[in-house]
A and B are shown apart, each in its own frame.
Chain A
Amino acid sequence: GENVEQHPSTLSVQEGDSAVIKCTYSDSASNYFPWYKQELGKRPQLIIDIRSNVGEKKDQRIAVTLNKTAKHFSLHITETQPEDSAVYFCAASSMDSNYQLIWGAGTKLIIKP
């Protein structure tokens, strides 16, 4: 079955700098890759997703890139702000897995003022 690994587990960056979180997956049939942001005490919220027919997707300061050959995808946050501090989860999904999301372990992003 699918396995998703996420790195790093904790990332500390200076406010205004960029942050990059990486995930790898094992199932070549996976075709949907969302990223969720979870603030302390809140629900996970979908912030951006990408499907396997594209290599990159951007939404203002966040972007996701996908390398199908290498089976990895990354979240990029530019010009980080204090409100970006949260735990970020990646996931992968395919029709073969009944569209269920297989989750990474999460990255705690800390933005230093």
Chain B
Amino acid sequence: NAGVMQNPRHLVRRRGQEARLRCSPMKGHSHVYWYRQLPEEGLKFMVYLQKENIIDESGMPKERFSAEFPKEGPSILRIQQVVRGDSAAYFCAITPLQGHNEQFFGPGTRLTVL
């Protein structure tokens, strides 16, 4: 599983609801990237987090989206007041160690907004 789990694998929300996506790296992995992939499109970087720290959120929409990676527990990508355009696959990726480039992806969460 490449050392990272995501849940739920599929999430259905109605417009205006909140979506919470979880990314659980194996113990010892403290660097997480979140990506969004619209159907038939490429990977769009959203945010890079270390434990208790947001390193780079330049790809994150300014409104409705937030991310965290607490000291204990999974990384959470939170989307408030979802709209149909938020329907996409959301992947998190881990990198084994700080200062390493390789990224290994989780299985993704497919969000559908009705």
Closest-CB distance, A16 to chain B (whole angstroms) = 27
Q: How many of chain B's residues touch chain A, expressed as a range?
A: 20 to 34
Q: Is the CB–CB distance between B108 and A89 below 8 Å?
A: no
Q: Report how many A-B pairs have Cβ atoms within 8 Å.
A: 47
Docked Cα-Cα span, A34 to B95, in Å, equals 13
Number of interface residues of A (CB under 8 A): 19
Q: Is the CB–CB distance between B33 and A100 below 8 Å?
A: yes
Identify whether the interface residues of B are mostly helix, strand, loop, or mixed: loop
Q: Closest B-chain residue to A1, C-beta based?
A: B58
**Which chain B residues have a beta carbon within 8 Å of chain A's beta carbons?**
2, 33, 41-43, 45, 48, 55-56, 91, 95, 99-108
**Other CB < 8 Å A-B pairs besides A99-B95, A103-B42, 16 of them?**
A34-B102, A34-B103, A43-B105, A44-B43, A44-B91, A45-B105, A46-B104, A89-B42, A89-B43, A93-B101, A99-B100, A100-B33, A100-B56, A101-B103, A106-B41, A106-B42
